[in-house]
Amino acid sequence: MRHFLDLATPGKAALRTILDEAHRRKAARAGLPKGALDSDAPLTGHSLAMIFEKPSTRTRFSFDIGMRQLGGSAIVSSAGDMQLGRGESIADTARVLSRFVDAIMLRADLHATVEALAESASVPVINGLTDLGHPCQAMADLMTVEERLGQPVEGTCWAWLGDGNNMAHSLIEAASVMDFDLKLGVPHGYDPDQAVMATACARGGSLDVVRSAKAAVEGAIVVVTDTWVSMGQAETKDKVGAMTPFRVTPDVMAAALPDAVFLHCLPAHRGEEVTDAVIDGAQSAVWDEAENRLHVQKAILLWCLGKIG
């Protein structure tokens, strides 16, 4: 069963297959209305269940439109409507949904929930975001960088600034699988999960944690950040104060390589983790990055359902 729960388990060959398919399908849709079918409509007759424990804009719309472009359909439900893990066990929910749909996408609070769903499902399960990782977003980041640079991500140097959160974890996995360098500029007390770091380092990942924004971006061709306070977390003055030196400003971007690309998975808190001059500037690729959620998730669906690779 091809689940897509993280970036390490599928492996490099699968991630390359997904990226290449995403590039190809995006190019093939040039000039088409957004609601038009892809010419081959490879998921005609297929359906996707989308379950949300957290609110979503990009994940929800991109998976829904992606399924339509591939010829299939999607059904959306909140976890509260389904009583996921309360009125019915996660395992039983997985067994029931597997009788109705061809794949399940879950945006969950806990990574253990998506793992439990995958363990009992007889159809592919896709991680739409958990507290531990955001692999679909990381794949869109890889695709966007390859578009901007016109070359594969292998051998490039990236910088992450801010909180060592789920997005950072997925980029740590991506760096170790796709062979690019990643320096993480994070304040004391907000490091990435040590188990995630240790596993990626054991895989041969080139990873480094530093305590200065400019030290992190030196030599970087990609600069990435995220909101300092994730969904469901309480904002504290202490955290905002600790993160402030890692705000992405024009001065920070100037310390990276001259053609460095800026990424942010959105929503952005302008003036906190990034200034308007950076997110709206020429080096920003955040709108391409948001669009690429659609193209890369279509490729993930095709890989999970055995249509590619």
- How far is Cα 200 from Cα 169, in angstroms, rounded to an integer? 10
Of the candidates 25, 29, 46, 107, the residue annotated as catalytic is: 107
Of the candidates 148, 247, 264, 293, the residue annotated as catalytic is: 293
Please identify which residue in the block is written with the tokens 């690019």: 180
CB atoms within 10 A of CB 73: 15
Which residue in 269, 154, 239 sits closest to 204, CA to CA?
154
Of the candidates 265, 295, 297, 304, the residue annotated as catalytic is: 265
Of the candidates 102, 137, 141, 148, the residue annotated as catalytic is: 137
Of the candidates 3, 25, 46, 134, the residue annotated as catalytic is: 134
How distant, in Å, are the alpha carbons of 22, 184, 241 from that of 177? 18, 17, 33
Which residue in 265, 286, 275, 269 sits closest to 56, CA to CA?
265
Asked if omega into 258 is within 30° of 0 (cis), the reply is no
Is 293 catalytic? The answer is: yes
Q: Do β-strands 47-52 and 103-107 pair in parallel, antiparallel, or remain unpaired?
A: parallel
List the Cα angle 114/117/121 in 5-degree steps: 140
Beta carbons of 103 and 305 less than 8 angstroms apart: yes
Q: Which helix (H) or strand (E) holds 157?
A: strand 157-161
Q: Which helix (H) or strand (E) holds 139?
A: helix 135-149
Is 95 catalytic? The answer is: no
Beta carbons of 169 and 192 less than 8 angstroms apart: yes
Is 137 catalytic? The answer is: yes
CB atoms within 10 A of CB 257: 16
Is 131 catalytic? The answer is: no
Which residues form the catalytic set? 107, 134, 137, 226, 265, 293
